[in-house]
Structure 1
Amino acid sequence: MSQTITETQVAPPPTLILKTTAEDKPEDKPHDDYRYANLLPHFSSDQYPPLAPFTHADPGLRALDHPNPRAFLDTATSVVELTPRLGTEVHGINLAELDSGARDELALEVARRGLVVFRDQHDFIDRGPDFYKNWGSHFGRLHVHPTSGHPAGYPEIHLVYRDANSTFNFEVSDSITSTVWHSDVSYELQPPGLTTFFLLSQPETGGDTLFTSQVSTLKKLSPQFIAFLRTLTAVHSGVEQANFSRSGKRGGIVRREPVENIHPVIRKHPVTGEEALYVNRQFTRRIVGLKREESENILKFLYDHIDKSGDNQARLKWRPGTVAIWDNRITAHSAIVDYSDSKERRHGARITPQAERPIPALDGLQLN
């Protein structure tokens, strides 16, 4: 069950400033010539109850029983590893045409590689929100974001948006960098697993996305330190995100009351069995049971390690028709906001199925 926690926070998250208000919304502006105007951010005032726990059946487990768990790649014209530790780029496959068995195999491949990028997926993107929901539902229960914009009538589709007049992204205004590593909505009791994201519109250059392997960042640490980290749990909080929206920013809507949950600092993947670091600057607040200074210093060390580990990272340069699929349980990512001066539109959609409650790497670890 969700737990509300009175906490002494680690260093507070960066001050986040947006350049728009709830009254300055893209759906209120004329976009008659924009191909994806029906997918512009909408901020309904609908209210939703707390998310109920559910049993997640990971499709990657089914693929383990297939004679060839990578058979969905047989027709690909190119399969290239982006880095040795993270990411694969695929050409020649139409994701929209994958059957149920191939989708299971895809889930297993993403679990093993962390990130799989598919190019030339215009058919997938142009099939629209009903198709997006059908696609995502194969991989888990679709998450409805408590504060973000979504296409009108489709709260399950999370949108990021920025143009010359407005932005609904989180942007750090008082920092020397726009890089904020995070695992999506890690404050939920059952955070996302296999996540699909694509851009409907993008700047000519810039707006890339960084990814890092949390499996690899963990493996870089000493065995003694890893053994200690396995004994720890941490608070992940959605309160600051909700309060930011309540202040009138990012659409000014909170559709579901924020939650805080305790997760293991090191989690285990239910399909591959691999262990991954599971903390992030955006949502992790403190380590349970440690004094404030102890928690702050450990988390700062881990955040710095994630930030600086370029040998565990991959940078995705978007092209029209690109679809990125990653495993939110074993990766972290950050948008790169380097295109603001161009005034160009960047409009993305995310399909976010939830997965299991994070499994501790240490058997018997209490999540309370």
Structure 2
Amino acid sequence: MVAAPFSPLGSLSVYDSYDATPHVGTRFPNKTTQLSQILEAPNSDELIKDLATLVSHRGVVFFSEQDLDIEKQKELGTRLGELSGKPATSKLHVHPISEQTPELTADVSVISSEGGIARNGYSKSARASAGWHTDITFESVPSDYAILKLHTLPTVGGDTLVPVMRPTTNSLLLIKDFSKALTAVHDGSGFREVMFWELVLVEDMLTQDPKYAKELGTPINDPRGSPENTGSHLQAVHPVIRTHPVTGFKSLFVNRGFTIRIVELHEDENDIAIWDNRCTFHTATNDYQGLRLGNRVVSIGEKPFFDPASKSRRAVLGL
């Protein structure tokens, strides 16, 4: 018999919820469970701290039919990190190419199927597997939690897939002590080289015109949620395996979107999702037609570190 996966609901156990899979994802399906009310509850600090812990253990948590406005979404993103112990210097992330508008501040990223950061490098024929990434790992101090509220969805498809980057027992045996000393370069220079993408529909194919971006001359936002996230270099070096500060578990910290090399090796629907960028990566499926639009808030966490005494989730839970 295998032990049931650990799911630390804490004070959130008063709300209806279920685990989407044995190891990843928890959903609060009842629309009476509103994040806006949790933010205003007398015990809101306890509830939000337990929510942060739940997201860290389960990777991603979903809330159905939410009325959370953008200011409350930003407040939740801030408090999740603060109540789970992030550095005082870490605020909400300002994306290098986010534009401040009268409706939204620069610390809110518009996620749109029509263009912008969500479509950087998009190819209509590409599989979703080509888009796996963890948010903003090119920053010296990357993200802890991210909150995405999709308010416009296609009729079918357009899902966001979120696996968890916890090493399996076999992979840990393969990488063993060798990988503990490895570091990886994470690069976001694509945002620097092409700071604005003009998407043109030509014979039913999306093409990108980088020359327009260079002519536009849009400056890189600076700083970006932490005093260390500054300048236009958009590159950082992080450990290949990091220790999660909330759970204490090891997790792989590389992703196809931004990791370009290992330093030590030679080159060869109004629903809301909250995920932990320290132990997950994600991609949006390309299985839909029509508009997919939402707002994302990304909280800055701590500088990635590795504690040699940390263990894998499977080892701790006997899975």
Deviates more, 1:135-144 or 1:272-281: 135-144
- Contact 2:60/2:274, CA 8 A, preserved across alignment: yes
**Matches of 2:72 and 2:148, distance apart in 1:** 14
| Residue 70 (structure 1) shift | 2.9
1:353 to 284, 287, 299: 299
What secondary structure, in the 3-state scheme, does the structure 2 residue paired with 1:84 have?
Answer: coil
Cα 1:321–1:238 change in 2 (3 A) is: same
Match of 1:307 in 2: none
**Matches of 1:210 and 1:172, distance apart in 2:** 17
| Residue 361 (structure 1) shift | 4.0
2:115 to 163, 167, 171: 167
Q: How many residues align?
A: 258
**Matches of 2:21 and 2:243, distance apart in 1:** 22
Match of 1:107 in 2: 52
Cα 1:76–1:91 change in 2 (3 A) is: farther
User: 2:37 is aligned with what amino acid?
Assistant: E
**Matches of 2:93 and 2:170, distance apart in 1:** 32
- Contact 1:76/1:91, CA 8 A, preserved across alignment: no
User: 1:97 is aligned with what amino acid?
Assistant: Q
Match of 2:278 in 1: 329
Match of 1:275 in 2: 250
> In the TM superposition, what are the counterparts of 1:83-122 in structure 2 within 5 Å?
83-92=21-30, 93-98=33-38, 99-121=44-66
Match of 1:134 in 2: 75
Match of 1:302 in 2: none
Match of 1:30 in 2: none
**Matches of 2:144 and 2:12, distance apart in 1:** 21
What is the aligned-residue identity percentage? 32
> In the TM superposition, what are the counterparts of 1:242-253 in structure 2 within 5 Å?
242-245=192-195, 247=210, 248=212, 253=218
- Contact 2:96/2:191, CA 8 A, preserved across alignment: no
- Contact 2:189/2:233, CA 8 A, preserved across alignment: yes
**Matches of 1:224 and 1:236, distance apart in 2:** 23
Unaligned runs of 5+ in 1: 1-68, 294-319, 364-368
**Matches of 1:233 and 1:136, distance apart in 2:** 28
| Residue 229 (structure 1) shift | 1.3
> In the TM superposition, what are the counterparts of 1:138-149 in structure 2 within 5 Å?
138-140=79-81, 141-149=91-99
**Matches of 1:289 and 1:338, distance apart in 2:** 38
| Residue 210 (structure 1) shift | 0.8
> In the TM superposition, what are the counterparts of 1:277-316 in structure 2 within 5 Å?
277-293=252-268
C-alpha root-mean-square deviation of aligned residues, in Å?
2.4
- Contact 2:192/2:220, CA 8 A, preserved across alignment: no
**Matches of 2:168 and 2:100, distance apart in 1:** 34
- Contact 1:185/1:192, CA 8 A, preserved across alignment: yes
> In the TM superposition, what are the counterparts of 1:36-75 in structure 2 within 5 Å?
70-75=9-14
Cα 1:323–1:252 change in 2 (3 A) is: farther
Match of 1:207 in 2: 158
| Residue 150 (structure 1) shift | 5.5
> What's the TM-score once normalised by structure 2's chain length?
0.74
- Contact 1:197/1:323, CA 8 A, preserved across alignment: yes
> In the TM superposition, what are the counterparts of 1:172-211 in structure 2 within 5 Å?
172-173=122-123, 176-179=126-129, 180-211=131-162
> What's the TM-score once normalised by structure 1's chain length?
0.65
**Matches of 2:24 and 2:99, distance apart in 1:** 30
Unaligned runs of 5+ in 2: 1-7, 39-43, 82-90, 197-209, 222-231, 310-319
